[in-house]
Structure 1
Amino acid sequence: MFVHGAGSYGAAAWPRQHGMALSYDALFLRRHGFDPVAEPVESSFAADTAIVLRSLADDGRGAAGGHIVAHAQGAIAAMMAAVERPDLVYSLTLVEPACLSLTAELPATAAHISLMKPLFEVRHQLSDEDFQREFVRRVYATDLQEPATAEEKRSARRLRLQAPSWEAPLHIVPGVPTLVLTGGWEPLYEEIAGYLRETGAVHRTAAGGHRPHDSPDGDRAVRSFISDVGRARSARAS
């Protein structure tokens, strides 16, 4: 099961992982408010978690449970689902996880929150384009071309309507095999990965910036981890 972040959604968010559908019953989810036609709505950690849990609870064949691969904000719903129903989660793969509420008091996360919180506090007074432009400037230190197409404008609105990641009610997931994959480019994500590593997760890095799973090494890390966990589960069941 694949849970996207704030940009592309559904299968489009996982170009390197499409082929996993040949070996697994792969589901490429759409989080709450992500739709190709309907207008975006305010994000909801609870609604995203419910989407993940519904999909885990029934794969259409009466079976239940699966591996979760989640990127950025999608990692929040993945972790919340695993806390609520660890029996349904075979493993967690968290790619550049935006789990800021876990590390809010650590230096890199605290600095990021200090930078971004004033922007989120006025997001409902800003246009979609103005919020997106300032968000990109603060996070990536670059300028973004004005959205032109209908989908680009919907994407700008979705970004403005995302709840701040540091407000997510997150807890550590006990007993669920977890891989954290980061791009090694941003201290914020390395800090989160280090925190999760201290709680038992495996941490790997791969080139690719905020999308390391798009690189050959990152894709290989995702596939190898899920395969290894699957073999271990089969061995315990036999």
Structure 2
Amino acid sequence: MFKQRVVFVHGAGSFGSAAWPKQHGMALAYDALFLRRHGFDASAEPLESDFQADARIVLGALADDGRGAAGGHVVAHSHGAIAAMMAAVERPDLVHSLTLVEPACLSLTAELPATAAHRALMQPLFDVRHQLGDDDFEREFVRRAFSAHAQDPGTAESRDSARRLRLQAPPWDAPLEIVPGVPTLVLTGGWEPLYEEIAGYLRETGALHRVAAGGHRPQDSVEGDRIIRSFIADVSRRQHQQAS
């Protein structure tokens, strides 16, 4: 039986399927692909982030699957939403829907107050990130952003995670544009004015906005998972009806 593809794009922390623990079961109904963005490889050294490379990874996952079918739904979290939006702007024909969870799309809202305040707080840290050690950067990032909890710095996994965080380019530098004509859901946790501001901006451009408790990871909550699954199922149903 043919399954529609759903591509999952992680944020700056865990990656691959580990970033989507509540969504694993969607593989029963969909052709689910859990991506690793550029520089996220458990067996290789972390690399500097690359917006364009990430977008190419998303587009590659949406390419012809060998059965003559191409395209799918894209679900992206935090920094991963940048690549998802860039891919949808470049090839809207391949993106059946966009689900953006706490999207770090700050370049869209650069002039709005919460985004401007966040950038003013974080820009000095990013300006010196290559002069700081990985652990020092992570601690200061967490202190300023209040968006995550630092891991135990004693493990190899946590050291790699800290380095990947330091190597992420500031999200306000991303070359983003509004995606025309692609059904879009924005899911936020209702905890941070920055993400609610971004969601409000996207809502004004036609996106659906929903809130589920769960801090920066509302997709891990029962309600957040339900919202994601319901949105994709509704879009799939409408698109099937239009094609019939």
Matched position secondary structure for 1:42 = coil
Give me the identity figure in percent: 78
- 1:128-165, Cα deviation, whole Å (9 max, x unpaired): 00000000000118874551111100000000000000
Q: Which residue of 1 aligns with 2:243?
A: 237
> Once structures 1 and 2 are overlaid, which stretch shifts more, 24-33 or 139-148?
139-148
Q: Distance in 2 between matches of 1:206 and 1:64?
A: 31
Rate the CA distance shift 1:142–1:62 in 2: closer, same or farther, 3 A: closer
Q: Contact conserved, 1:129 with 1:146, CA < 8 A, in 2?
A: no
Does residue 157 (structure 1) correspond to residue 170 (structure 2)? The answer is no
4+ runs of 1 displaced by more than 4 Å? Answer: none
The equivalent position to 1:212 in structure 2, one of 215, 218, 241, is 218
- 1:92-113, Cα deviation, whole Å (9 max, x unpaired): 0000000000000000000000
Matched position secondary structure for 1:17 = helix
Q: Distance in 2 between matches of 1:191 and 1:73?
A: 16
Does residue 16 (structure 1) correspond to residue 13 (structure 2)? The answer is no
Where do 1:149-228 residues align within 5 Å? 149-228=155-234
Does residue 67 (structure 1) correspond to residue 73 (structure 2)? The answer is yes
Aligned residues: 238
Q: Contact conserved, 1:72 with 1:95, CA < 8 A, in 2?
A: yes
Q: Distance in 2 between matches of 1:60 and 1:152?
A: 37
> Once structures 1 and 2 are overlaid, which stretch shifts more, 132-141 or 199-208?
132-141
Matched position secondary structure for 1:16 = helix
Q: Which residue of 2 aligns with 1:39?
A: 45
Q: Which residue of 2 aligns with 1:29?
A: 35
Q: Distance in 1 between matches of 2:155 and 2:113?
A: 38
> How far off is 1:191 after superposition?
0.1
- List runs of 5+ in structure 1 lacking aligned partners: none
- List runs of 5+ in structure 2 lacking aligned partners: 1-6
Q: Distance in 2 between matches of 1:141 and 1:47?
A: 25
TM-score (norm. length: structure 1): 0.98
> How far off is 1:60 after superposition?
4.1
Q: Distance in 2 between matches of 1:53 and 1:144?
A: 32
Matched position secondary structure for 1:97 = coil
Where do 1:79-158 residues align within 5 Å? 79-140=85-146, 144=150, 146-158=152-164
